[in-house]
Structure 1
Amino acid sequence: MNSNNDVIRKLHELTEADMSEAEFLQSVENNMIPMQQFFTYYRCAIMEIETKFRVLNEQFSLNGESNPIEFIQSRIKSYGSIFRKIMTNHIPRNVEAIERDINDIAGIRVVCSFVQDIYRLADCFLRQDDITLIEKKDYINNPKPNGYRSLHLIVAVPIFLENEKRLVKAEVQLRTIAMDFWASLEHKLRYKKDLPPYQLNLLADDLKKCADQSAEWDRRMQDIKNILESN
Structure 2
Amino acid sequence: MFDHDLPLPRWLEHSLDCLSKDSPCSLDALNSKILLAVAFDFAFRFHEGQFRATGEPYIVHPLAVSNILYNAGSSPSVIIAGLLHDIVEDTQITSQRIEIHFGSEVRLLVEGVTKLGKIHSLNYTEARAENLHKLFITMANDIRVVLVKLADRLHNMRTIASLHGEKQQRIAWETREIYAPLANRLGIACFQWELEDLAFKILEPDVFLKIQSYVAANRSEREFRVSQIVNLLKNHLSILNSNNSHIEGRTKHLYGLWSKMQSQQRTFEDIYDVAGLRIITPDVESCYSSLSIIYQVFCPILGRFKDYIGLPKPNGYQSLHTAVIGISRPIEMQIRTNEMHQIAEYGIASHVRYKEGGSPAEVKSKCFNWLYQFAEWQENNEPNRHSDYLALVKEDLLIDDLYVFTPKGDLIHLNPGSSAVDFAYFVNTSIGDCFQQVAINGYLCPFSTALQNGDVIQVFTDKYPSPKLDWLNYLSTSTAHTYIRQWYVDRYNWDESIRIGRLLIERELGSDGLYVLLNSNSIARMMSYHGFITIKDLISALGYGEIILNYLMNYLRG
The answer to whether the superposition gives a TM-score over 0.5 is yes
The residue correspondences of 1:37-76 to structure 2 (distance < 5 A) are 37-60=217-240, 66-69=242-245, 71-76=246-251
Measure the CA separation in 1 of the matches of 2:339 and 2:215: 36
Measure the CA separation in 2 of the matches of 1:45 and 1:111: 20
- Give the Å deviation of 1:175: 0.7
Measure the CA separation in 2 of the matches of 1:94 and 1:114: 38
Q: Which amino acid aligns with 1:180?
A: H
> Cα RMSD between the aligned structures?
3.8
Measure the CA separation in 2 of the matches of 1:187 and 1:106: 27
**Runs of 4+ more than 4 Å apart:** 9-12, 17-20, 25-28, 33-37
For normalisation by structure 1, the TM-score amounts to: 0.57
Measure the CA separation in 2 of the matches of 1:10 and 1:182: 18
Partner residue of 2:282?
Answer: 113
* CA distances 1:62-118 after superposition (whole Å, capped 9, x unpaired): xxx63341x22321123333224334x2x336234434xxx3x21211111111111
Partner residue of 1:176?
Answer: 337
Partner residue of 2:265?
Answer: 92
The one of 149, 152, 155 aligned to 2:321? 152
Partner residue of 2:367?
Answer: 208
- Give the Å deviation of 1:149: 1.0
Q: Which amino acid aligns with 2:271?
A: I
- Give the Å deviation of 1:152: 0.8
Find the residue that maps to 1:55 and give its secondary structure: helix
Q: 2:305 touches 2:320 (CA, 8 Å); kept in 1?
A: yes
Partner residue of 1:162?
Answer: none
Measure the CA separation in 1 of the matches of 2:367 and 2:341: 14
Measure the CA separation in 2 of the matches of 1:15 and 1:115: 32
Partner residue of 2:294?
Answer: 125
- Give the Å deviation of 1:132: 3.6
Measure the CA separation in 2 of the matches of 1:206 and 1:98: 37
Q: 1:42 touches 1:76 (CA, 8 Å); kept in 2?
A: no
Report the CA distance shift for 1:138/1:85 in structure 2 as closer, same or farther (over 3 A): same
Find the residue that maps to 2:326 and give its secondary structure: strand
Q: Which has the larger radius of gyration?
A: 2
- Give the Å deviation of 1:40: 4.2
Find the residue that maps to 2:333 and give its secondary structure: strand
The residue correspondences of 1:29-44 to structure 2 (distance < 5 A) are 36-44=216-224
Report the CA distance shift for 1:119/1:51 in structure 2 as closer, same or farther (over 3 A): same
Identity of aligned residues (%): 21
Deviates more, 1:34-43 or 1:174-183: 34-43
Report the CA distance shift for 1:97/1:58 in structure 2 as closer, same or farther (over 3 A): closer
Point out where structure 1 has 5 or more consecutive residues left out of the alignment. Answer: 159-165, 190-201, 210-231
The residue correspondences of 1:10-25 to structure 2 (distance < 5 A) are 13-16=195-198, 19=201, 23-24=206-207
Q: 2:214 touches 2:268 (CA, 8 Å); kept in 1?
A: no
Q: 1:147 touches 1:208 (CA, 8 Å); kept in 2?
A: yes
Measure the CA separation in 1 of the matches of 2:345 and 2:277: 15
* CA distances 1:32-75 after superposition (whole Å, capped 9, x unpaired): x9654544453234213211221123334xxxx63341x22321
Point out where structure 2 has 5 or more consecutive residues left out of the alignment. Answer: 1-123, 129-172, 181-191, 351-360, 369-558
- Give the Å deviation of 1:19: 4.4
Q: 1:112 touches 1:175 (CA, 8 Å); kept in 2?
A: yes
Q: Which amino acid aligns with 1:92?
A: Q
- 1:80 matched to 2:80: no
Find the residue that maps to 1:127 and give its secondary structure: helix
Report the CA distance shift for 1:16/1:50 in structure 2 as closer, same or farther (over 3 A): farther
